[in-house]
Amino acid sequence: MREIIFDTETTGLDPLKGDRMVEIGCFEMVNRVATGRTFHAYFNPERTMPAEAEAVHGLSDAFLADKPRFVELAAELLDFFGDSPLVAHNAGFDFGFLNAELGLCGLEPVCKSRMIDTVALARVRHPGAKLSLDALCTRYGIDRSHRTKHGALLDAELLAQVYVELRGGRQIGLELAAEVDRRIEVTTVIVRSERIFRPARPHAATAAELAAHARFLESVKSPLWSG
């Protein structure tokens, strides 16, 4: 199964208020194994970068000035997505910006039925725990020492490792073994339910056996049971 893990960086928190996507990083996995294929792009947001957003990801107006606009790479991005499920951390945020950008291009939004939110998965697996990407990397022993600022492709790569752990991670083999055991147990029950039991064999002595027993008793000298 092919899945795309992706992350975005933006000028702010709300595309409905004019915030724009400035970076996207996508990481391809097949059967939860990295293929090495990625899609990564920076975008000129056609607006100024707020200082608080630049402090998070380090992308300045000067750096983004010569980058392509989203519309110039939209078709290439959608081609990379294909029809695969799309995995993101707090996926509603990333989908909101992705679909807002597609809308500005006059393109159809990506259906949210394709969305897999790792925050929701982590909330079920670790109720009450911290659910940030940093916290989950720490929980699963994933090295993030090279992450000094947010970066879409780097965060997508880290999230891919977190996603594998949330889906079973190193326990996948054990889960498979458990499934095999379950199937063996079910098969055993089915076999037992179809066994044909033979009727009990008669245990009463025959007339010849009784006569032989009587002759034996008569041959016993001074039997204990006669006293």
On whether the CB atoms of residues 149 and 56 are closer than 8 A, the answer is: yes
Token pair of 43, please? 């975008």
Which residues participate in catalysis according to the annotation? 150
On whether the CB atoms of residues 155 and 24 are closer than 8 A, the answer is: no
Q: In angstroms, rounded to a whole number, what is the distance separating the alpha carbons of residues 122 and 163?
A: 9
Place of tokens 């996507």: 21
Strand partners, 78: none
On whether the CB atoms of residues 5 and 33 are closer than 8 A, the answer is: no
Instruction: Identify the three-state secondary structure at position 168.
Output: coil
Q: In angstroms, rounded to a whole number, what is the distance separating the alpha carbons of residues 69 and 21?
A: 10
Helix (H) or strand (E) segment spanning residue 34 = strand 33-42
On whether the CB atoms of residues 63 and 11 are closer than 8 A, the answer is: no
Place of tokens 């393109």: 107
